[in-house]
Amino acid sequence: MSSNKYGVVWISVAVLTFLVAVAYTLVVAFGGPASEGYDPASLLFGVAGLLALVGWWWDRSRIAEAREEAEKGREQLAAEVQKREAELGGVRDEIGGVRRERDGLRQEKVRLESNLEAREGELERERYLRARSQEAREAERGWNRELQAEVMRMHRELGALGDPGDVPSMVLRLTKRLLGAEKGLLLSREDEDSDGNLDLISVEGFENDPEESAIVQRFADEVIENDQIIREDEPQEVEEGSTPADEEIQNLVAIPIYIQDEFGGVIVCANKEGGFGEYDEDVLLSLGNQAGAVLKNGRLQGELRSSYLATVRVLGEALEAKDPFLRGHSEEVSGYVAAVADRLGVEPLRREQLLFASLLHDVGKIGISERILLKPAALTPEETDIVKLHPRIGYHIVQQVPALEPMAMGILHHHERYDGYGYPSGLRGEEIPFEARIICVADAFSAMTAERPYRRRTSVAGACEELEHHAGTQFDPEIVRVFVEEVRSKPPGDDRLRELEDALEDPELQARRKEGEPVLGYGSLALTDNLTMLYTRRYLHETAQAEARRSEMRGRPFGVVLVELTEIGRTNMRQGYAAGDEEIRAVARGLQRVAARIGGTACRHGGRRLALVGSGVDEEHARRLAEEIAEEIAGGPPVRVGSSAWRPGDDGESVIVRARAGIA
């Protein structure tokens, strides 16, 4: 803009100067006043005008060049700007990529933090469950010791359990004390009065009669329906049918009682300061299980004689149920033993102890697997060694019952040999208890004259000859002599020991004992569950612990799958316990089929839970097994399934706890 202005000025000056010079020249040339002489100023003035005109043209050229340079500069600047903008766009793209990457990293961080929190939650849950499981085991052991101590005290005071009514009272009193409750009730599922309610068999701490308590019955019914612990801090009163006893209840816990894995009743404890929330479900269930065991053991025990007579009978029946080939064997041995004792003039008390020791001499086989006991062929050396454990097992069994303790040594040593080469202690001669020497001869004779899948029976004469042949080596020669004389004078027939039958038909015992109901529980000693014929909970935990030790040494995992029947309580309520038992058996059969396919071990975990242990099973395989089991029992009772596998540092209990936590 300034260049144009200066250009106009230059042009104006130049034109003006030029015109003046021309005018002056014309004046001079044509006779104007100044034409007479030469005026250099005019010439200079004209030259100056010419120079001004030339300057103008030069300045105009310079301005044009400047404009061209400016235009080129603008173009270069525009190109540079465009280039810079392109570079800036690239930088922006890079920044955008970095931001996207940053956002992705933030999202990944959030995801990882979420996963970490979830894993920490899982670990915390696992630690919690493990601690609770440990607490439950410790509580179970402690309560078991207290219950056993209480039972032993009753034995010492009463000579046995005395009045069977004392046992429920003792169980309720001890449970109430262990939980710190003020009041308690013990209800039985028997419903002898057929009123549809559980029967009240013991009560502690109530001022008013709780026989018809609506609150207690409501919670007991919920326990039956849901098959689980029920707790409530402030139970609401039932408007219809409430009783004065209901007003005494401030808080309560209702615990199911299981007797050999079958529902037997409910313990209700009430009024604990702070409520019952501090106790884990497993802890309370273990208390219910222990209470059930004591109730089972003591339900029908009365006077000492009736108690251990019935105990002998049920243990014998249990053994025969486990091994059909032993059916009648113990009674047959007892008959021979009684005859020998009579010939030898054994005094009455010792004779009675000898008689019952002979009835229980093989009771330890309760703890031997049916797969060995019922094997149709000869046993392997390893299986033989397992069978040889039965005297020790039987010894420990009878030692748990004070009334049977005098028989323990006869049971422990009935497989000793007179020459010292027997088992379990290698005693010889008269080191062997007198009772054991008699049982040994009678047992051998009964076994020889019995049919077995892997051999034919021996005749009575042949068996007597065999006894005489081994007198002095395997058998006490004097016992053999008396025994053979008795057998040859009175050949064995089908008669049973009349004295034992008379005792077992004691009217007092029969009045106390329901048809087909055993007197003393033995389920905790057996390796198989009576209902499902699967291995027991004890065997499950032993197997898991053994697998964990193997996994630790070999680095090869094992898996556990737990199956829980979800509607068994409802089935028991609506269709009866027989229907519930059938549902459990149906699931057990499906579980057994899967176990057979993978070479695993199927067990009864307890109550409504079953379990499968598989060697070499990792987490993924365990999940597939859970799906396979669910498919195998599809169409049957509804179930929930959980699985877990061994991880380094786990014990067997940890794997079982995780499988239980995974039930969904």
DSSP string, 355-395: HHHHHTTTGGGGGS-HHHHT-SSPPPHHHHHHHTTHHHHHH
The DSSP-derived string for 605-616 is EETTEEEEEEET
Residue 411: the pLDDT is 92
Domain's final residue, options 94, 116, 134: 134
Q: What percent of the chain has pLDDT over 90?
A: 17
Residue 474 has pLDDT above 90, yes or no: yes
For residue 139, is it within any domain? no
Most confident of 211-220, 270-279, 438-447: 438-447
What integer best gives the mean pLDDT of the chain?
Answer: 77
pLDDT at 49 over 70: no
Q: Are residues 397 and 442 in the same domain?
A: yes
Total domains present in the chain: 4
Do residue 403 and residue 379 come from a single domain?
yes
Same domain, 505 and 549: no
Q: 346 and 462 in one domain?
A: yes
Residue 202 in any domain: the answer is yes
Q: Report yes or no on 140 lying in a domain.
A: no
Query: Are residues 508 and 404 part of one domain?
Result: yes
Are residues 116 and 244 both part of a single domain? no
Q: Which residue has the higher pLDDT, 5 or 422?
A: 422
Domain containing 347 — which CATH number?
A: 1.10.3210.10
Same domain for 527 and 396: no
Q: Which tens digit of pLDDT belongs to each residue from 385-419? A: 999 999 999 898 888 877 777 888 999 999 999 99
Co-location of 257 and 337 in the same domain: no
Q: Give residue 506's pLDDT.
A: 43
Q: Which residue has the higher pLDDT, 55 or 176?
A: 176
CATH of the domain at 252: 3.30.450.40
Q: What are phi and psi of 248, to 5 degrees?
A: -80, -15
Which one, of 285, 252, 297, lies nearest residue 143 by Cα?
285
| Domain carrying residue 634 | 523-661
Q: Would you tell me the crossing angle of helices 214-226 and 568-575 to the nearest 10 degrees? A: 120
pTM: 0.35
Residues 415 and 479 in one domain: yes
**Looking at residues 310-325, what average pLDDT do you find?**
66
- Give yes or no for a contact between 209 and 189, defined as CB atoms under 8 angstroms apart: no
Query: Phi then psi for 236, rounded to 5 degrees?
Result: -75, 135
Whether the Cβ atoms of residue 584 and residue 615 lie closer than 8 Å to each other: no
Give phi and psi for 409, each to the nearest 5: -70, -35
Q: Of 279, 298, 317, which residue sits at a domain end?
A: 298
Q: Say whether both 544 and 632 belong to one domain.
A: yes
pLDDT, mean of residues 193-198: 66
Looking at the structure, tell me whether residues 290 and 364 fall in a common domain. no
Model pLDDT for residues 351-363, shown as the tens digit of each residue? 878 888 888 888 8
| pLDDT value of position 153 | 67
Tokens standing for residue 557:
């995992």
CB atoms under 10 Å from CB of 612, counted, come to 30
161 domain residue, yes or no = no
CATH code assigned at 587: 3.30.70.270
